[in-house]
Amino acid sequence: MKQVIIVGGVAGGATAAAQLRRINPDINITIYEKGRDISFGNCGLPYNIGGEVSDRDKLVAATPATMAERDIVVKTHHEVRSVDSEGRKLLVKDLEEDREFEAAYDYLILSPGGAPRTIPALLDVPQAFVLHNLEDLDDIKAHIAEHDVNKVVVIGAGYIGLELIENFVRRGMDVTFIHRSEEVYRPLEDDLGNFFIEEMERQGVDVRLNTEIVEVDGNVATLSNGEQVDAPMIVAGIGILPRTEFLGGSGVALNDAGFICTDETGCTSADCVYALGDAIETFYQHVDRKTTVALAWGAHRMAYVIANQIGGDDDVKFEGLLGTNIIRFFDYDIATLGLQQNEVREYDHFIVDHKQKNKAGYMDGSVPIRVRIYVSTEDGRILRAAVVGTEGVDKRIDLLAAHIRLGGTAEDLVNIEVAYSPPYSSPKSVLNMLGYKTIEKMKKFK
Ligand code: FAD
């Protein structure tokens, strides 16, 4: 029987295993996971801190025991140390038994994800945490309980940092936010995100910008501007680095930033070695360009593709992604898709911006929603979009993603027939209006 080995047992790895088993009952599947847990909802971790996920155990989707019921072998606390793609074997370390052994594969699936980054000043600080997995969540909650902590310093202005701020506030804790610039949430245009700081202050967050922690002594953190803040707990959400060091010398090609290069089948440069998730370099759906996207959708889609490539229908291919994303920050919803701001500048484009109420303007409770699209002057393609509001953002970003996927241009937005009655939209929705504005602007380029 063919032997499939999977490295990493959370979003990408566990999903690939489950899909493969569903497609093909006659294949051996073994997952090596270096951590304690497998198959948990990373995305839900912040919401257990804030209480919206009241039952922490509901974050666990599968365990080694439930995987065993599906004839999938799971080895937790097992770290893959190196890969020999010529010899089709791995060196694995059993971290509990402190012993190494070799494991042979016919197919290898890599889903090692990313390692959370930190800053030098937080190394060896006992009250400094990251939130990347269930163990981190348990450690944070244990620290709060054991030391009766009601104050937390959050660093990082990406989506995890923002979710941490919101959820610690919801938990009733005093939050200090430290950020080394004034630019909060880089995926969004500064002028669209000018509410972030105001909203933090409205929520009672102590905001310290243009500074960073340089030293922590006991429960006091010293900042680069000389100020000191009380820091009985510090949580960093400052991004990830691909966990691919173990692939050195493996024959699996990495890009300059250490991400695993993959094609539309999920295959790497090495025969029978596939990869997915946060650690891969993949490609955009709407423009011919490589990208990396550390979000769950791509991992889940690629899991299905790879499972089919190995055990089912090899016509199933990955068709790229848009990096469609959304976050909630207190009352606000923020979503973007497509090229990053620095990338879109390389394309000839114009911007169409429109703000209107999310439902019929005469309805009590209607609120503004703002959508910005970046339109290719060459062919009217939507290269990038950003949506901000307090209601209805998810609907607009998903519609835009579907529209782009099906080849719709910015001018075609006028033809999206929206479901209208006053509590939901307008007969000319915000997306239709963007289409009408585009048609006017596009005349210059025809
Ligand atoms: P992971 O799920 O991180 O799994 C990788 C696993 O591989 C890890 O458990 C690791 O221990 C293991 N591993 C690594 N190296 C080895 C090795 N050498 N040997 C054995 N095991 C190894 N995405 C969204 O789309 N929306 C969200 O709202 C969202 N919120 C998030 C909130 C948080 C707090 C976090 C941490 C992530 C969030 N994400 C979100 C991102 C999403 O969780 C990731 O995109 C997804 O988990 C990536 O899956 P993966 O399999 O690549 O990596």
pLDDT tens sequence across 106-162: 999 999 999 999 999 999 999 999 999 999 999 999 999 999 999 999 999 999 999
Quick one: pLDDT at residue 312?
85
Q: What is the mean pLDDT of residues 294-301?
A: 98
Q: What is the pLDDT of residue 444?
A: 86
Taking the C-alpha atoms of residue 76 and residue 145, their distance in angstroms, rounded to an integer, is: 27
Half-sphere exposure for 191 (CA within 13 Å, toward CB): 5
Sequence ranges of the domains in the chain? 2-115+240-311, 118-236, 335-445
Ligand 1: residue of 10, 91, 162, 281 to mutate (most ligand atoms within 8 A of CB) is 10
State how far the Cα of 167 lies from the Cα of 172, in Å rounded to an integer. 9
Is 43 designated active site? yes
Q: For 174-191, what is each residue's pLDDT tens digit?
A: 999 999 999 999 999 999
Q: Atom 1 of ligand 1 has which residue's CA nearest to it?
A: 113
The CATH number of 335-445 is which of 3.30.390.30, 3.40.50.300, 3.30.1330.10, 2.60.40.1180? 3.30.390.30
Q: What is the ipTM of this complex?
A: 0.99
Burial grade of 342 (CB within 10 A; 0-12, 13-18, 19 or more): exposed
Q: What are phi and psi of 194, to 5 degrees?
A: -75, 0
Locate 226 and state its tokens.
């000389």
Note if the pTM is more than 0.90.
yes
pLDDT value at residue 356: 96
Protein residue with least CA distance to atom 30, ligand 1? 43
Q: Which residue has the tokens 């202050």?
A: 201
Ligand 1 binding pocket mutation candidate from 278, 304, 325 (most atoms within 8 A of CB): 278
Ligand 1 pocket, mutate which of 31, 32, 36, 43 (most atoms under 8 A from CB): 43
Distance CA 413, CA 329 (A): 28
Residue 113 CA to ligand 1 center (angstroms) comes to: 5
Topology alike, domains 118-236 and 335-445: no
CATH code, residues 118-236:
3.50.50.60
> Which residues are bridge partners to 385 per DSSP?
337, 373
Ligand 1 binding site (Cβ under 6 Å of any ligand atom): 7-8, 10-13, 32-35, 42-43, 45-46, 79-80, 111-113, 131-133, 160, 243, 246, 277-279, 294-297, 299
Map residue 103 onto helix, strand or coil. strand
Q: Which helix (H) or strand (E) holds 66?
A: helix 64-69
H-assigned helices in 335-416: 341-344, 393-405
Does the structure show a pLDDT above 80 at 446?
no
| Two tokens, residue 109 | 């699936």
Looking at the CA of residue 8, tell me the nearest atom of ligand 1: 7
Cα Dmax for the chain: 70
The 3-state DSSP class for residue 81 equals strand
CA–chain centroid gap for 183, Å, is 19
Contact 326, 393 (CB under 8 A): yes
For 2-115+240-311, which CATH class? alpha beta
Which residue's CA is the nearest one to ligand 1's atom 16? Answer: 112
Please check the confidence at residue 300 and state whether its pLDDT lies above 80.
yes
Atom of ligand 1 nearest to the CA of 92: 19
Return the structure tokens found at 314: 């090899």
Location of structure tokens 């937080």: 122
* Residue 373 Cα distances to 97, 370, 376, 381, 386, angstroms: 55, 10, 10, 10, 7
